[in-house]
Structure 1
Amino acid sequence: MEIAGFALWQVGIALVATLASAYVRGLAGFGLAILLVPVLALALKPVEAVLIASMLGLMIGLTEIRWLINQAERSAWHIGGMVVLTTAPGMALLAITPAPVARLLIALVALSAFVAVLIPPREPEIPGRLNTLLTGAASGVLTGFAGMPGPPVVPYYVGRSIPREVAKASMVLVFTIASTTGIASGLALGMMHWRLLLLALALFPVVLIGNALGHRALGKISDRAWRIFAATVLGAASFAALLKLL
Protein backbone atom coordinates (compact mmCIF):
# COMPACT_ATOMS: atom_id res chain seq x y z
CA MET A 1 0.00 0.00 0.00
CA GLU A 2 1.17 3.51 -0.87
CA ILE A 3 0.22 7.09 -0.01
CA ALA A 4 0.94 9.71 -2.72
CA GLY A 5 3.44 7.29 -4.23
CA PHE A 6 5.30 6.71 -0.96
CA ALA A 7 5.45 3.38 0.88
CA LEU A 8 3.82 3.21 4.31
CA TRP A 9 7.17 2.79 6.04
CA GLN A 10 8.41 5.97 4.36
CA VAL A 11 5.34 7.89 5.51
CA GLY A 12 5.73 6.48 9.03
CA ILE A 13 9.32 7.67 9.27
CA ALA A 14 8.27 11.08 7.93
CA LEU A 15 5.51 11.43 10.55
CA VAL A 16 7.74 10.60 13.52
CA ALA A 17 10.62 12.74 12.30
CA THR A 18 8.29 15.65 11.55
CA LEU A 19 6.68 15.63 15.00
CA ALA A 20 10.05 15.54 16.77
CA SER A 21 11.66 18.23 14.60
CA ALA A 22 8.60 20.51 14.85
CA TYR A 23 8.69 20.28 18.64
CA VAL A 24 12.34 21.27 18.64
CA ARG A 25 11.57 24.14 16.26
CA GLY A 26 8.91 25.47 18.61
CA LEU A 27 11.31 25.35 21.54
CA ALA A 28 14.64 26.30 19.96
CA GLY A 29 13.59 28.37 16.94
CA PHE A 30 15.32 25.97 14.57
CA GLY A 31 15.57 22.25 14.03
CA LEU A 32 12.81 21.55 11.52
CA ALA A 33 15.21 21.17 8.61
CA ILE A 34 18.38 20.26 10.53
CA LEU A 35 16.61 17.32 12.17
CA LEU A 36 14.12 16.43 9.46
CA VAL A 37 16.25 16.42 6.32
CA PRO A 38 18.94 13.94 7.47
CA VAL A 39 16.26 11.48 8.61
CA LEU A 40 14.04 11.91 5.54
CA ALA A 41 17.08 11.59 3.28
CA LEU A 42 17.56 8.06 4.61
CA ALA A 43 14.03 7.08 3.54
CA LEU A 44 13.56 9.29 0.47
CA LYS A 45 15.79 10.77 -2.20
CA PRO A 46 17.86 13.64 -0.76
CA VAL A 47 16.28 16.17 -3.12
CA GLU A 48 12.80 15.02 -2.06
CA ALA A 49 13.72 15.43 1.60
CA VAL A 50 15.02 18.95 0.92
CA LEU A 51 11.89 20.05 -0.93
CA ILE A 52 9.47 18.59 1.63
CA ALA A 53 11.34 20.33 4.46
CA SER A 54 11.23 23.58 2.49
CA MET A 55 7.46 23.33 2.00
CA LEU A 56 6.87 22.61 5.67
CA GLY A 57 9.16 25.47 6.68
CA LEU A 58 7.24 27.91 4.50
CA MET A 59 3.85 26.73 5.74
CA ILE A 60 4.69 27.10 9.43
CA GLY A 61 6.58 30.35 8.84
CA LEU A 62 3.57 31.99 7.22
CA THR A 63 1.48 31.27 10.33
CA GLU A 64 3.93 33.38 12.37
CA ILE A 65 4.77 36.12 9.88
CA ARG A 66 3.52 39.06 11.99
CA TRP A 67 5.56 37.97 15.01
CA LEU A 68 8.62 37.47 12.83
CA ILE A 69 8.46 40.95 11.32
CA ASN A 70 8.01 42.58 14.73
CA GLN A 71 10.68 40.65 16.64
CA ALA A 72 13.43 39.78 14.15
CA GLU A 73 16.74 41.64 14.07
CA ARG A 74 17.36 43.68 10.93
CA SER A 75 20.33 41.45 10.07
CA ALA A 76 17.84 38.68 9.28
CA TRP A 77 16.69 40.59 6.20
CA HIS A 78 20.28 40.99 4.96
CA ILE A 79 20.98 37.30 5.48
CA GLY A 80 17.68 36.42 3.82
CA GLY A 81 18.59 38.50 0.77
CA MET A 82 21.80 36.55 0.28
CA VAL A 83 19.89 33.30 0.72
CA VAL A 84 17.66 34.27 -2.21
CA LEU A 85 20.73 34.75 -4.43
CA THR A 86 22.59 31.56 -3.54
CA THR A 87 19.95 28.86 -3.06
CA ALA A 88 19.59 27.83 -6.72
CA PRO A 89 23.32 27.07 -7.17
CA GLY A 90 23.18 24.88 -4.08
CA MET A 91 20.20 22.93 -5.41
CA ALA A 92 21.86 22.51 -8.81
CA LEU A 93 24.88 21.04 -7.01
CA LEU A 94 22.62 18.61 -5.14
CA ALA A 95 21.09 17.43 -8.42
CA ILE A 96 24.48 16.26 -9.74
CA THR A 97 25.79 14.79 -6.45
CA PRO A 98 25.39 11.00 -5.93
CA ALA A 99 22.81 10.25 -3.23
CA PRO A 100 25.24 8.49 -0.79
CA VAL A 101 27.66 11.41 -1.02
CA ALA A 102 24.83 13.92 -0.53
CA ARG A 103 23.60 12.07 2.58
CA LEU A 104 27.10 12.13 4.07
CA LEU A 105 27.59 15.83 3.34
CA ILE A 106 24.18 16.68 4.83
CA ALA A 107 25.13 14.89 8.07
CA LEU A 108 28.50 16.70 8.17
CA VAL A 109 26.74 20.05 7.70
CA ALA A 110 24.66 19.43 10.83
CA LEU A 111 27.81 18.41 12.72
CA SER A 112 29.58 21.65 11.78
CA ALA A 113 26.75 23.71 13.28
CA PHE A 114 27.00 21.77 16.53
CA VAL A 115 30.71 22.57 16.81
CA ALA A 116 30.07 26.26 16.08
CA VAL A 117 27.41 26.58 18.79
CA LEU A 118 29.83 25.24 21.41
CA ILE A 119 31.93 28.40 21.08
CA PRO A 120 31.30 30.71 24.11
CA PRO A 121 28.66 33.44 23.48
CA ARG A 122 29.95 36.65 21.91
CA GLU A 123 28.90 40.24 22.50
CA PRO A 124 25.32 41.13 21.48
CA GLU A 125 26.35 43.62 18.76
CA ILE A 126 25.49 42.71 15.18
CA PRO A 127 28.60 41.34 13.40
CA GLY A 128 30.13 43.29 10.52
CA ARG A 129 28.44 43.49 7.13
CA LEU A 130 30.90 41.06 5.51
CA ASN A 131 30.29 38.46 8.23
CA THR A 132 26.54 38.88 7.82
CA LEU A 133 26.63 38.57 4.02
CA LEU A 134 28.89 35.52 4.13
CA THR A 135 26.52 33.92 6.63
CA GLY A 136 23.67 34.53 4.20
CA ALA A 137 25.60 33.17 1.22
CA ALA A 138 26.55 29.98 3.07
CA SER A 139 22.99 29.59 4.31
CA GLY A 140 21.63 29.88 0.77
CA VAL A 141 23.98 27.28 -0.67
CA LEU A 142 23.10 24.90 2.15
CA THR A 143 19.40 25.60 1.65
CA GLY A 144 19.66 24.38 -1.92
CA PHE A 145 22.03 21.50 -1.29
CA ALA A 146 20.79 20.19 2.05
CA GLY A 147 17.52 22.00 2.77
CA MET A 148 19.25 23.27 5.93
CA PRO A 149 19.81 27.03 6.12
CA GLY A 150 20.48 26.70 9.85
CA PRO A 151 24.16 25.69 10.24
CA PRO A 152 25.56 29.16 9.43
CA VAL A 153 22.56 31.04 10.91
CA VAL A 154 22.20 29.31 14.28
CA PRO A 155 25.72 30.17 15.51
CA TYR A 156 25.26 33.74 14.20
CA TYR A 157 22.32 34.30 16.58
CA VAL A 158 22.57 31.67 19.33
CA GLY A 159 26.27 32.45 19.69
CA ARG A 160 25.55 36.04 20.72
CA SER A 161 24.26 37.36 24.04
CA ILE A 162 20.90 38.57 22.73
CA PRO A 163 17.38 37.83 24.05
CA ARG A 164 16.25 34.40 22.95
CA GLU A 165 13.00 35.78 21.51
CA VAL A 166 15.00 38.04 19.19
CA ALA A 167 17.34 35.19 18.25
CA LYS A 168 14.46 32.81 17.64
CA ALA A 169 12.42 35.26 15.54
CA SER A 170 15.49 36.22 13.49
CA MET A 171 16.37 32.61 12.74
CA VAL A 172 12.80 31.67 11.84
CA LEU A 173 12.50 34.67 9.50
CA VAL A 174 15.65 33.61 7.67
CA PHE A 175 14.39 30.02 7.49
CA THR A 176 11.04 31.15 6.08
CA ILE A 177 12.79 33.14 3.36
CA ALA A 178 15.05 30.16 2.71
CA SER A 179 12.08 27.79 2.43
CA THR A 180 10.36 30.08 -0.08
CA THR A 181 13.52 30.34 -2.15
CA GLY A 182 14.13 26.59 -1.99
CA ILE A 183 10.67 25.86 -3.35
CA ALA A 184 11.07 28.44 -6.12
CA SER A 185 14.45 26.96 -7.06
CA GLY A 186 12.98 23.46 -7.11
CA LEU A 187 10.22 24.61 -9.44
CA ALA A 188 12.67 26.41 -11.72
CA LEU A 189 14.95 23.38 -11.92
CA GLY A 190 12.04 21.00 -12.57
CA MET A 191 12.50 19.04 -9.34
CA MET A 192 9.11 19.72 -7.76
CA HIS A 193 6.41 17.04 -8.12
CA TRP A 194 2.79 16.91 -6.97
CA ARG A 195 3.38 13.90 -4.74
CA LEU A 196 5.87 15.91 -2.69
CA LEU A 197 3.29 18.63 -2.14
CA LEU A 198 0.70 16.04 -1.11
CA LEU A 199 3.05 14.51 1.45
CA ALA A 200 3.96 17.96 2.80
CA LEU A 201 0.27 18.84 3.20
CA ALA A 202 -0.33 15.57 5.03
CA LEU A 203 2.58 16.31 7.39
CA PHE A 204 1.67 19.95 8.08
CA PRO A 205 -0.88 19.24 10.87
CA VAL A 206 1.87 17.28 12.64
CA VAL A 207 4.15 20.31 12.31
CA LEU A 208 1.51 22.55 13.90
CA ILE A 209 1.07 20.18 16.84
CA GLY A 210 4.78 19.70 17.46
CA ASN A 211 5.56 23.41 17.09
CA ALA A 212 2.81 24.40 19.54
CA LEU A 213 4.05 21.91 22.13
CA GLY A 214 7.60 23.18 21.78
CA HIS A 215 6.57 26.83 22.01
CA ARG A 216 4.64 26.10 25.19
CA ALA A 217 7.77 24.58 26.74
CA LEU A 218 9.87 27.60 25.75
CA GLY A 219 8.47 29.79 28.51
CA LYS A 220 9.49 27.28 31.18
CA ILE A 221 13.26 27.31 30.65
CA SER A 222 16.03 29.87 31.18
CA ASP A 223 18.19 31.44 28.47
CA ARG A 224 21.15 29.29 29.52
CA ALA A 225 19.07 26.12 29.39
CA TRP A 226 17.78 27.19 25.97
CA ARG A 227 21.32 27.55 24.59
CA ILE A 228 22.33 24.19 26.04
CA PHE A 229 19.25 22.61 24.48
CA ALA A 230 20.10 24.18 21.11
CA ALA A 231 23.61 22.73 21.19
CA THR A 232 22.32 19.32 22.28
CA VAL A 233 19.81 19.18 19.45
CA LEU A 234 22.43 19.98 16.84
CA GLY A 235 24.83 17.43 18.28
CA ALA A 236 22.26 14.64 18.48
CA ALA A 237 21.02 15.26 14.94
CA SER A 238 24.46 15.23 13.38
CA PHE A 239 25.81 12.22 15.27
CA ALA A 240 22.65 10.21 14.67
CA ALA A 241 22.81 10.86 10.95
CA LEU A 242 26.50 9.92 10.81
CA LEU A 243 25.99 6.73 12.79
CA LYS A 244 23.11 5.69 10.55
CA LEU A 245 25.25 6.20 7.46
CA LEU A 246 28.14 4.21 8.94
Structure 2
Amino acid sequence: MILGLTAAAIATGIAAALVAGFVRGLAGFGMAILLVPILGLAIPPVEAVVSANWLGFAISLVSLRKQVSESERSAWVIAAAALVAIPLGVLGLSAISPPVARLLIALIALGAFVAVLLPPRPHAKPARGETVATGLAAGVLTGFAGMPGPPVVPYYVRRPIPPAIARASMMSVFMVTQAAGALTAIVLGVATWREAAIALGLYPAVFIGNWAGARAFGRIDPTAWRWIAGGMLGLAAGGAVLKLATA
Protein backbone atom coordinates (compact mmCIF):
# COMPACT_ATOMS: atom_id res chain seq x y z
CA MET A 1 0.00 0.00 0.00
CA ILE A 2 1.03 3.61 -0.62
CA LEU A 3 0.10 6.23 2.00
CA GLY A 4 -2.09 3.56 3.55
CA LEU A 5 -4.22 3.34 0.39
CA THR A 6 -5.22 0.07 -1.24
CA ALA A 7 -4.54 -0.67 -4.91
CA ALA A 8 -8.27 -0.28 -5.65
CA ALA A 9 -8.35 3.13 -3.97
CA ILE A 10 -5.30 4.26 -5.94
CA ALA A 11 -6.77 3.05 -9.23
CA THR A 12 -10.07 4.80 -8.48
CA GLY A 13 -8.25 8.03 -7.67
CA ILE A 14 -6.13 7.97 -10.84
CA ALA A 15 -9.11 7.26 -13.10
CA ALA A 16 -11.20 9.99 -11.47
CA ALA A 17 -8.30 12.46 -11.63
CA LEU A 18 -7.74 11.82 -15.34
CA VAL A 19 -11.38 12.42 -16.27
CA ALA A 20 -11.71 15.36 -13.88
CA GLY A 21 -8.60 16.97 -15.34
CA PHE A 22 -9.99 16.67 -18.86
CA VAL A 23 -13.26 18.34 -17.89
CA ARG A 24 -11.37 21.09 -16.10
CA GLY A 25 -9.21 21.75 -19.17
CA LEU A 26 -12.22 21.78 -21.48
CA ALA A 27 -14.75 23.68 -19.40
CA GLY A 28 -12.72 25.56 -16.79
CA PHE A 29 -14.77 23.93 -14.04
CA GLY A 30 -15.99 20.58 -12.87
CA MET A 31 -12.78 19.02 -11.59
CA ALA A 32 -13.79 18.96 -7.93
CA ILE A 33 -17.43 18.20 -8.76
CA LEU A 34 -16.23 15.07 -10.57
CA LEU A 35 -13.34 14.14 -8.33
CA VAL A 36 -14.57 14.58 -4.77
CA PRO A 37 -17.68 12.30 -4.83
CA ILE A 38 -15.76 9.44 -6.46
CA LEU A 39 -12.55 9.88 -4.46
CA GLY A 40 -14.67 10.14 -1.31
CA LEU A 41 -15.82 6.56 -1.85
CA ALA A 42 -12.21 5.35 -1.68
CA ILE A 43 -10.88 7.54 1.15
CA PRO A 44 -12.56 9.51 4.00
CA PRO A 45 -14.54 12.55 2.78
CA VAL A 46 -12.29 15.05 4.58
CA GLU A 47 -9.24 13.63 2.81
CA ALA A 48 -11.03 13.67 -0.54
CA VAL A 49 -12.07 17.30 -0.16
CA VAL A 50 -8.67 18.58 0.95
CA SER A 51 -6.80 16.51 -1.67
CA ALA A 52 -9.08 17.92 -4.38
CA ASN A 53 -8.42 21.44 -3.11
CA TRP A 54 -4.66 20.91 -3.36
CA LEU A 55 -5.04 19.48 -6.88
CA GLY A 56 -7.24 22.36 -7.99
CA PHE A 57 -4.69 24.91 -6.81
CA ALA A 58 -1.73 23.06 -8.32
CA ILE A 59 -3.26 22.68 -11.78
CA SER A 60 -4.23 26.37 -11.79
CA LEU A 61 -0.55 27.28 -11.88
CA VAL A 62 -0.07 25.65 -15.29
CA SER A 63 -1.53 28.55 -17.29
CA LEU A 64 -1.51 31.22 -14.59
CA ARG A 65 -0.50 34.26 -16.65
CA LYS A 66 -3.02 33.71 -19.45
CA GLN A 67 -5.75 32.78 -16.99
CA VAL A 68 -5.33 35.94 -14.89
CA SER A 69 -5.10 38.24 -17.90
CA GLU A 70 -8.40 36.95 -19.33
CA SER A 71 -10.34 36.91 -16.04
CA GLU A 72 -13.23 39.26 -15.41
CA ARG A 73 -12.83 41.66 -12.46
CA SER A 74 -15.75 39.98 -10.72
CA ALA A 75 -13.58 36.88 -10.21
CA TRP A 76 -11.51 38.67 -7.59
CA VAL A 77 -14.60 39.99 -5.78
CA ILE A 78 -16.01 36.45 -5.63
CA ALA A 79 -12.68 35.04 -4.46
CA ALA A 80 -12.33 37.66 -1.70
CA ALA A 81 -15.85 37.00 -0.39
CA ALA A 82 -15.21 33.25 -0.48
CA LEU A 83 -12.18 33.57 1.78
CA VAL A 84 -14.42 34.86 4.56
CA ALA A 85 -16.74 31.85 4.42
CA ILE A 86 -14.31 28.95 3.87
CA PRO A 87 -13.75 28.26 7.61
CA LEU A 88 -17.50 27.74 8.07
CA GLY A 89 -17.50 24.99 5.46
CA VAL A 90 -14.41 23.30 6.92
CA LEU A 91 -15.92 23.25 10.41
CA GLY A 92 -19.19 21.90 9.02
CA LEU A 93 -17.40 19.05 7.26
CA SER A 94 -15.52 18.08 10.42
CA ALA A 95 -18.71 18.08 12.50
CA ILE A 96 -20.76 15.50 10.58
CA SER A 97 -20.31 11.78 10.00
CA PRO A 98 -18.60 10.46 6.83
CA PRO A 99 -21.77 8.80 5.41
CA VAL A 100 -23.75 12.04 5.71
CA ALA A 101 -20.84 14.00 4.23
CA ARG A 102 -20.68 11.62 1.25
CA LEU A 103 -24.42 12.00 0.64
CA LEU A 104 -24.34 15.80 0.80
CA ILE A 105 -21.29 16.00 -1.46
CA ALA A 106 -22.96 13.76 -4.06
CA LEU A 107 -26.12 15.89 -3.95
CA ILE A 108 -24.07 19.08 -4.38
CA ALA A 109 -22.46 17.54 -7.47
CA LEU A 110 -25.89 16.69 -8.88
CA GLY A 111 -27.13 20.21 -8.15
CA ALA A 112 -24.20 21.69 -10.04
CA PHE A 113 -25.23 19.75 -13.13
CA VAL A 114 -28.78 21.09 -12.92
CA ALA A 115 -27.52 24.66 -12.43
CA VAL A 116 -25.38 24.52 -15.57
CA LEU A 117 -28.39 23.61 -17.70
CA LEU A 118 -30.63 26.43 -16.47
CA PRO A 119 -31.68 28.94 -19.19
CA PRO A 120 -29.12 31.66 -20.03
CA ARG A 121 -29.46 35.00 -18.31
CA PRO A 122 -30.15 38.04 -20.50
CA HIS A 123 -27.91 40.46 -18.58
CA ALA A 124 -24.14 40.41 -18.80
CA LYS A 125 -23.35 42.01 -15.43
CA PRO A 126 -25.02 40.89 -12.17
CA ALA A 127 -25.41 43.30 -9.25
CA ARG A 128 -22.59 43.61 -6.72
CA GLY A 129 -24.73 41.97 -4.04
CA GLU A 130 -25.21 38.87 -6.17
CA THR A 131 -21.49 38.73 -6.85
CA VAL A 132 -20.66 38.85 -3.15
CA ALA A 133 -23.35 36.27 -2.32
CA THR A 134 -21.88 33.98 -4.98
CA GLY A 135 -18.49 34.30 -3.31
CA LEU A 136 -19.84 33.54 0.17
CA ALA A 137 -21.65 30.43 -1.10
CA ALA A 138 -18.51 29.33 -2.97
CA GLY A 139 -16.48 29.70 0.21
CA VAL A 140 -18.79 27.52 2.29
CA LEU A 141 -18.85 24.83 -0.39
CA THR A 142 -15.07 24.99 -0.83
CA GLY A 143 -14.55 24.21 2.83
CA PHE A 144 -17.30 21.63 3.08
CA ALA A 145 -17.05 19.80 -0.25
CA GLY A 146 -14.00 21.15 -2.08
CA MET A 147 -16.50 22.47 -4.66
CA PRO A 148 -16.60 26.22 -5.19
CA GLY A 149 -18.19 25.52 -8.57
CA PRO A 150 -21.95 25.11 -7.91
CA PRO A 151 -22.56 28.85 -7.28
CA VAL A 152 -19.72 30.12 -9.48
CA VAL A 153 -20.43 28.12 -12.65
CA PRO A 154 -23.99 29.42 -13.21
CA TYR A 155 -22.78 32.96 -12.46
CA TYR A 156 -20.51 32.84 -15.51
CA VAL A 157 -21.77 30.10 -17.84
CA ARG A 158 -25.36 31.39 -17.99
CA ARG A 159 -24.27 34.92 -18.96
CA PRO A 160 -23.75 36.16 -22.55
CA ILE A 161 -19.97 36.48 -22.26
CA PRO A 162 -17.30 34.72 -24.36
CA PRO A 163 -16.45 31.20 -23.12
CA ALA A 164 -12.76 32.16 -22.83
CA ILE A 165 -13.59 34.90 -20.29
CA ALA A 166 -16.00 32.68 -18.36
CA ARG A 167 -13.47 29.85 -18.29
CA ALA A 168 -10.56 32.03 -17.14
CA SER A 169 -12.66 33.78 -14.49
CA MET A 170 -13.84 30.51 -12.99
CA MET A 171 -10.30 29.14 -12.96
CA SER A 172 -9.05 32.22 -11.09
CA VAL A 173 -11.77 31.91 -8.46
CA PHE A 174 -11.02 28.23 -7.99
CA MET A 175 -7.27 28.85 -7.71
CA VAL A 176 -7.76 31.21 -4.75
CA THR A 177 -10.54 29.34 -3.00
CA GLN A 178 -9.01 25.88 -3.26
CA ALA A 179 -5.60 26.99 -1.98
CA ALA A 180 -7.33 28.74 0.92
CA GLY A 181 -9.56 25.73 1.57
CA ALA A 182 -6.62 23.34 1.87
CA LEU A 183 -4.62 25.65 4.12
CA THR A 184 -7.64 26.45 6.31
CA ALA A 185 -8.27 22.74 6.89
CA ILE A 186 -4.69 22.34 8.11
CA VAL A 187 -4.81 25.45 10.33
CA LEU A 188 -8.06 24.28 11.94
CA GLY A 189 -6.60 20.82 12.55
CA VAL A 190 -9.10 19.09 10.29
CA ALA A 191 -6.42 17.89 7.84
CA THR A 192 -2.67 17.25 7.71
CA TRP A 193 -0.03 17.31 4.98
CA ARG A 194 -1.05 13.74 4.06
CA GLU A 195 -3.68 15.15 1.70
CA ALA A 196 -1.02 17.19 -0.08
CA ALA A 197 0.93 13.95 -0.60
CA ILE A 198 -2.17 12.25 -2.05
CA ALA A 199 -2.67 15.22 -4.37
CA LEU A 200 0.95 15.03 -5.48
CA GLY A 201 0.47 11.38 -6.40
CA LEU A 202 -2.65 12.16 -8.45
CA TYR A 203 -1.24 15.29 -10.08
CA PRO A 204 0.24 13.58 -13.21
CA ALA A 205 -3.19 12.16 -14.10
CA VAL A 206 -4.84 15.56 -13.60
CA PHE A 207 -2.12 17.25 -15.65
CA ILE A 208 -2.54 14.86 -18.59
CA GLY A 209 -6.32 15.18 -18.50
CA ASN A 210 -6.16 18.97 -18.25
CA TRP A 211 -3.75 19.14 -21.20
CA ALA A 212 -6.10 17.06 -23.37
CA GLY A 213 -9.12 19.13 -22.34
CA ALA A 214 -7.33 22.44 -23.01
CA ARG A 215 -6.47 21.28 -26.52
CA ALA A 216 -10.13 20.51 -27.18
CA PHE A 217 -11.28 23.92 -25.88
CA GLY A 218 -11.71 26.47 -28.64
CA ARG A 219 -12.42 23.86 -31.31
CA ILE A 220 -16.13 23.76 -30.46
CA ASP A 221 -18.75 26.51 -30.53
CA PRO A 222 -20.02 28.10 -27.27
CA THR A 223 -23.34 26.24 -27.24
CA ALA A 224 -21.68 22.86 -27.71
CA TRP A 225 -19.12 23.79 -25.03
CA ARG A 226 -21.87 24.37 -22.47
CA TRP A 227 -23.76 21.19 -23.34
CA ILE A 228 -20.68 18.96 -23.40
CA ALA A 229 -19.48 20.32 -20.07
CA GLY A 230 -22.93 19.97 -18.55
CA GLY A 231 -23.33 16.44 -19.87
CA MET A 232 -20.02 15.33 -18.40
CA LEU A 233 -20.95 16.79 -15.04
CA GLY A 234 -24.33 15.08 -15.17
CA LEU A 235 -22.86 11.66 -15.89
CA ALA A 236 -20.29 12.03 -13.14
CA ALA A 237 -22.76 13.33 -10.57
CA GLY A 238 -25.27 10.60 -11.40
CA GLY A 239 -22.55 7.98 -11.16
CA ALA A 240 -21.45 9.28 -7.78
CA VAL A 241 -25.02 9.17 -6.43
CA LEU A 242 -25.51 5.65 -7.81
CA LYS A 243 -22.25 4.40 -6.30
CA LEU A 244 -23.17 5.96 -3.00
CA ALA A 245 -26.55 4.23 -3.01
CA THR A 246 -24.97 0.83 -3.68
CA ALA A 247 -21.91 1.27 -1.45
Q: TM-score, normalised by structure 2?
A: 0.96
Deviation for aligned residue 1:124: 4.8
Match of 1:62 in 2: 61
Identity %: 50
Match of 2:165 in 1: 166
- Would you say 1:82 and 2:72 are equivalent positions? no
The runs of 5 or more residues in structure 1 that have no matched partner are none
1:83 and 1:181 in contact (8 A); partners too? no
Give the partner amino acid of 1:90: G
- 2:112 alignment partner, SS class: helix
Match of 2:214 in 1: 215
> Could you tell me how far apart the structure 2 residues matched to 1:53 and 1:124 are?
33
- 2:40 alignment partner, SS class: helix
Match of 2:144 in 1: 145
> Could you tell me how far apart the structure 1 residues matched to 2:208 and 2:115 are?
30
> Could you tell me how far apart the structure 2 residues matched to 1:152 and 1:208 are?
25
Match of 1:201 in 2: 200
- 2:152 alignment partner, SS class: helix
> Could you tell me how far apart the structure 2 residues matched to 1:194 and 1:184 are?
10
Give the partner amino acid of 2:116: V
Match of 2:242 in 1: 243
Match of 2:101 in 1: 102
Give the partner amino acid of 2:98: A
Deviation for aligned residue 1:59: 0.6
> Could you tell me how far apart the structure 1 residues matched to 2:204 and 2:213 are?
14
Q: State how many pairs are aligned.
A: 245
**Deviates most, 109-118 or 168-177:** 109-118
Q: TM-score, normalised by structure 1?
A: 0.96
The runs of 5 or more residues in structure 2 that have no matched partner are none
Deviation for aligned residue 1:67: 1.3
Give the partner amino acid of 1:190: G
Runs of 4 or more consecutive aligned structure 1 residues displaced over 6 Å after TM superposition: none
> Could you tell me how far apart the structure 2 residues matched to 1:237 and 1:205 are?
21
1:38 and 1:103 in contact (8 A); partners too? yes
Per-residue CA deviation, residues 70-90 of structure 1 (Å, 9 max, x unaligned), is 000111001000111101110
